[in-house]
Amino acid sequence: VLGAHWCYQIQAEEPNSHCQGPAQWTGDCQKTNQSPINIITAEAKVNPNLKHFTFFGYNEKKKWVVVNNGHSVQMMLGDGGCISGGDLPTQYRAVQLHLHWSQELDRGSEHTIDSKHFAMEMHIVHEKGTSNNKVQDSKDKIAVLAFMIEVGDEVNQGFQPLVEALSHISKPNTSTTTVRESCLENMIPKQEKLARYFRYFGSLTTPNCDETVIWTVFQETIKIHKDQFLKFSKMLYYDEDQKLNMKDNVRPLQQLGNRQVFRS
Ligand SMILES: Nc1nc(-c2ccc(Cl)c(S(N)(=O)=O)c2)cs1
Ligand SMILES: [Zn+2]
């Protein structure tokens, strides 16, 4: 086997684990424009070009392919929607959606806002261009829309199809199709609440940590029921033997360095 596979700290600490925890991640992971970061709201610079987003195809009801890829749960958005606006240079098409979480409510998000962690963080990953004209490597090849998720006492119906699918993909490298149809629009806050967000240039938060991501972190949070939240760490496993529950798939905070965080 080539170099050991990458993993999160919780996996690296397991006895007899041979995977590389965050401190050993290779690729661009040890460079200086990395993600996630702590967003200090008072230091974010207002940028008047950061207008609202336009979402195309987010209202399309579909049965989604959902995958346990050994690091997260991922919804494949294939010919899903695309976004424009938000001071993006062109349209970006939705590729996949995945989440990061813990079992505690205060350490499941990757980004922090004024040093506050949330229960989960949802990333909708988009690639530059439409399906016809893909563009090559550049620091804005990928646009990730990041939403903080809080736990409340109301069931979030938009998340139910994904939550119900989790029991079918407990093992890594398994996939299923959601039984019920759902649309992305029902998983994110109402569009009129998405005008306020933070913007900075960073990286993938998983190896190879390519520094090709335009990050958008929305101020408006998503709320899901505590039982929905607990299902992620209860039903999903990192390993075949189903010994290590999938949770704390959260990369440690990275240095902002000489980057500026902007806000709409
Ligand atoms: N195998 C896996 N890939 C990812 C992934 C892929 C692309 C991106 Cl952009 C990201 S992130 N967390 O930076 O949004 C994660 C997760 S798990
Ligand atoms: Zn992510």
| pLDDT per position as a tens digit, 161-214 | 999 999 999 999 999 999 899 999 999 999 999 999 999 999 999 999 999 999
State whether the beta carbon of 205 lies less than 6 angstroms from ligand 1.
Answer: yes
CA of 77 to the centre of ligand 1 (A): 14
State whether the beta carbon of 141 lies less than 6 angstroms from ligand 1.
Answer: no
pLDDT given at position 3 = 61
Give the mean model confidence (pLDDT) for residues 86-112: 96
Per-residue pLDDT tens for 1-44?
456 899 999 999 999 899 999 999 999 999 999 999 999 999 99
pLDDT given at position 130 = 80
**Nearest-5° Cα angle at 139, 136 to 145:** 100
pLDDT given at position 11 = 97
Give the mean model confidence (pLDDT) for residues 65-76: 98
State whether the beta carbon of 126 lies less than 6 angstroms from ligand 1.
Answer: no
Residue nearest to atom 12 of ligand 1 (CA): 205
Q: Residue 136: count other Cβ atoms within 10 Å of its Cβ.
A: 6
Token pair listed for 157: 């119906």
Helix (H, G, I), strand (E, B) or coil at 156: coil
Place of tokens 């695309």: 82
pLDDT given at position 2 = 57
ipTM of the complex: 0.97
For residue 71, indicate whether it is catalytic.
Answer: yes
CA of 98 to the centre of ligand 1 (A): 8
CA of 5 to the centre of ligand 1 (A): 15
CB proximity list for 256: less than 8 A, separation 6 or greater: 37, 38, 200
Instruction: For the chain, give the number of residues.
Output: 264
Q: Are 126 and 143 in contact (CB under 8 A)?
A: yes
pLDDT given at position 134 = 65
pTM of this structure: 0.97
State whether the beta carbon of 204 lies less than 6 angstroms from ligand 1.
Answer: yes
Catalytic position from the list 18, 52, 71, 117: 71
Query: Which comes out higher in pLDDT, residue 138 or 231?
Result: 231
